[in-house]
Amino acid sequence: MKKILLITVFFLNACQVMAFSPYENRLHFADVQRIGLVALAKPEQLEQLKNLTQITPEEQIKLSAKGITNLLISTQTVNEKVFVFAYFESKNKAISGWDVRFSQAIPKLADLSQTLIAHPRAKKTAVWLRMEWMNLIASREVFPVDGQKVKTMALMSGLKPTKELTYRQLHQSNWPAVVDTMVKSNYRNWTSFLIELDQALYLFTYAEYIGNDMQKDNQIMAADPVTQRWWQHTEDCLINLHGQGNWSGMESIMEAQP
């Protein structure tokens, strides 16, 4: 009887922290939350943005003190608009205020923010807009990368408005074999965000690669039968923006390691 009671209490406690929303469950159980911000720039500013220097160790310490770790800022031009994508992680679970906190974290980010153009939905007092977090595959919490060299990258794609519901449903329940194949192919922390602009939908992804031969690992991923079936559903939802395939590589302009 005592054992049954303990099991019942454990079950009730577990139910108290579980929600119907996978998003809420992820926020509850994760060590950090993943945050994606977006802003815009003029094409003539692109060279200026590219010339930004990397984060110094002293600046990295200051960022960490502000709750900002693993920062990567990247750019990509689409239809004469330069998108600026900032990805970072934080143990701070707040969902509001990151637009201002981020731009004021260190002088270098303040200078960058002053050169950018706000997304139309950004607050009047802010440049950056927080995007909707869409997906996470192969997180570092589940599949650690300790002691391995990490290559960070940012990718961008368009999303067909008529396929938004399909894409959301697919990524609310990532197929286990697809996750396993990404891990075997040395990809980690693949996390995506969604934003709209001028009736168009855009996806931004941050990812990490810990292997030594990306071409070979991509071939391993592409040869997996379950991944092939997954792509039959997901690739039809995406828009090839640059003729490079449905995911275009973005150019990194600022980076701070975890």
What residues make up the domain containing 176? 32-255
Considering the domain boundaries, does residue 4 fall inside one?
Answer: no
Considering the domain boundaries, does residue 14 fall inside one?
Answer: no
For 69, the enclosing helix (H) or strand (E) is: strand 69-78
Q: What is the CATH number of the domain that holds 220?
A: 3.30.70
Mean residue pLDDT of the chain comes to 90
- DSSP codes joined into one string, 7-26: HHHHHHHHHHH--S-HHHHH
Kindly report, residue by residue over 193-237, the tens digit of the pLDDT.
999 999 999 999 999 999 999 999 999 999 999 999 999 999 999
Quote the number of domains for the chain: 1
Kindly report, residue by residue over 130-179, the tens digit of the pLDDT.
999 999 999 988 988 888 889 999 999 999 999 999 999 999 889 999 99
What's the rounded mean pLDDT across residues 47-55? 87
Considering the domain boundaries, does residue 22 fall inside one?
Answer: no
What gap in Å lies between CA 233 and CA 237, rounded to an integer? 7
Considering the domain boundaries, does residue 138 fall inside one?
Answer: yes
Considering the domain boundaries, does residue 147 fall inside one?
Answer: yes
What are 96's two structure tokens? 């509001």
Sheet of 33-41, strand order: 129-130, 33-41, 81-90, 69-78, 251-255
Over 90: is that where the pLDDT of 65 sits?
A: yes
Considering the domain boundaries, does residue 19 fall inside one?
Answer: no
Whole-structure pTM value? 0.90
For 241, the enclosing helix (H) or strand (E) is: none
Residue with tokens 């197929």: 175
Confidence band for 12, pLDDT divided at 50, 70 and 90:
very low
Considering the domain boundaries, does residue 149 fall inside one?
Answer: yes
Considering the domain boundaries, does residue 105 fall inside one?
Answer: yes
- Return all residues near 227 (Cβ < 8 A) that are at least 6 apart: 177, 178, 181, 221
